[in-house]
Amino acid sequence: MTERRTGFFFDEKCLWHFGKPHALFFPVGGWVQPPNAAGYCESPDSKRRLKSLMDVSGLTAQLDVRSAPMLAREDLLRVHPAAYLDRFADLSVKGGGDMGFEASFGPGGYDIARISAGLAADAIDAVLRGEVHNAYALSRPPGHHCLPDTGMGFCLLANGALAIERAIARHKLSRVAVIDWDVHHGNGTEAIFYERPDVLTISLHQEKCFPTDTGRTGDRGRGSGEGYNINVPLLPGGGHQSYVDAMELIVLPALERYRPELIVVACGFDASIVDPLSRMMAHSETFRYLMQATRDAADQLCKGRVVVIHEGGYSEAYVPFCGHALIEALSGHRTAVTDPNLEISIEQQPGAEFQKLQRRILEEQARDL
């Protein structure tokens, strides 16, 4: 029997996507001076440096590295209306444009976004076909904020939802669980599956970070989807322990109740302690823990079938260490890489009183589920 390895779905083209000129995430113009070389926070470098670190550490060599073709139009139409796709394609050949709030792109952006979605879809396919044990898709642009008819928050196509819809159609799945630990609310994925019981959506996010008006605990789904959406808004500054508590009190029990056939992770690294877009104070061991706990749940519930799709993460220096730790946990291969920021990050975690408060809030929410 051949060894079933971790698939790593990657395409250099995804790193060639670019948006309009920004300083951090402020569009240039008016009082916003054009930036220096660093510029737009949604840059390719956080992802490129993750892949580079994996190459240098020897981790890439342990993985089954694959690319994927652009997602087919018939599969895009499972989530997005034809008018949205036509407008995106048209702007893309004309040199670029905007598909919504903070959702700009340059020439060829439509095809790059289709590759990004294709990586996610093929990662799921490879796992469900048993070609690989589990998989990571280094998708870019990201997808979890994208709604069917509008892009937002750097997301141009709904990568995760598109990949899940194709998997449901091809493999006749009836229970897929999504865990979104990007620091921002997974509002797009939530909206797309809000009225359906066949996809359980769970989002852990910094309360009111982005979007500021979604991600509330009371939003539990609608109609036959009632009860199949779980939002876990976390207090800013919660750090490592708030993620451990959220997993133990809410996420893992929810997975056990739902008994998914497949677990899909919308994986941002923007909850890190040095991320410029959030205030959650997680570190590389938080991401290792999240992945290990999810992998253990997948082993117990769904033959280890877990697919991780890259979302946000804006510290070019630190995302590589968080991503590397997570992919080590996913693949079960530990390398010699150490996190230069770990010791100070652990020392800076919040005190016991804060952690008690956060845990009490989570316990209260868990009682209502």
- Which residues does the annotation mark as catalytic? 145
Among 165, 182, 190, 316, the residue binding Zn ion under the rule CB under 5 A is 182
Measured from the CB atom, the residue of 151 and 268 that comes closer to Zn ion is 268
Q: Name which of 12, 2, 114, 16 is nearest 55 in CA terms.
A: 12
Of residues 10 and 314, the one with the C-beta less far from Zn ion:
314
Q: Residue 320, interface with Zn ion (CB under 5 A)?
A: no
Q: Least distance from C-beta 159 to Zn ion, angstroms?
A: 13
Closest CA to 202 of 159, 243, 141, 155: 243
Q: Which CB sits closer to Zn ion, 277 or 306?
A: 277
- The C-alpha atoms of residue 138 and residue 297 are separated, in whole angstroms, by 22
> Could you identify the residue written with the tokens 């499972």?
78
Interface with Zn ion by CB under 5 A: which range of 114-122, 174-182, 232-240, 293-301?
Answer: 174-182
Closest CA to 274 of 264, 284, 289: 284
Nearest approach, Cβ of residue 150 and Zn ion (Å): 17
Q: How far apart are CA 185 and CA 202, in angstroms?
A: 10
How many residues form the binding site for Zn ion (CB under 5 A)?
A: 5
Per CB under 5 A, the list member of 186, 238, 239, 312 interacting with Zn ion is: 312
**Residue at shortest CB range from Zn ion:** 312
Gap between the Cα atoms of 19 and 113, Å rounded: 12
Shortest distance, CB of residue 40 to Zn ion, whole angstroms? 14
For the CB of residue 315, give the shortest distance to Zn ion in the complex, in Å. Answer: 12
Q: In the complex with Zn ion, which residue's Cβ is closer, 151 or 225? A: 151
17, 48, 51, 184: which one binds Zn ion (CB under 5 A)? 184
In this chain, which stretch among 13-21, 70-78, 176-184, 198-206 interacts with Zn ion, using CB under 5 A?
176-184
> To the nearest whole angstrom, how small is the minimum distance from the Cβ of residue 143 to Zn ion?
11
**From the CB of 275, what's the least distance to Zn ion, in Å?**
9
- The token duo for 60 is 């890439």
Q: Are 139 and 116 in contact (CB under 8 A)?
A: yes
Residues 6 or more apart whose CB falls under 8 angstroms from that of 85 comprise: 73, 76, 77
Structure tokens at 186: 């997974």
160: its two tokens = 């995760």
Sites for Zn ion among residues 246-285 (CB under 5 A):
268, 270
Least Å distance between CB 209 and Zn ion? 8
Q: Residues 50, 323: contact at Cβ < 8 Å?
A: yes
Between helix 82-93 and helix 109-128 the angle, nearest 10°, is 130
* DSSP letters for 217-274: TT----GGGTT-EEEEEE-TT-HHHHHHHHIIIIIHHHHHHH--SEEEEEE--TTBTT
Cα-to-chain-centroid distance, residue 290? 13
Q: Which stretch binds Zn ion (CB under 5 A): 38-46, 90-98, 175-183, 191-199?
A: 175-183
Comparing CB distances to Zn ion, the nearer of 180 and 245 is 180
Instruction: Between 180 and 328, name the residue whose CB sits nearer to Zn ion.
Output: 180
**Closer to Zn ion at the Cβ: 258 or 314?**
314
CB-count burial class (<10 Å; 0-12, 13-18, 19+) for 82: exposed
Nearest to 270 by CA among 323, 314, 322, 307: 314
Q: Which residues pair with 201 in a beta bridge?
A: 178, 229
Residues of this chain that bind Zn ion (CB under 5 A):
182, 184, 268, 270, 312
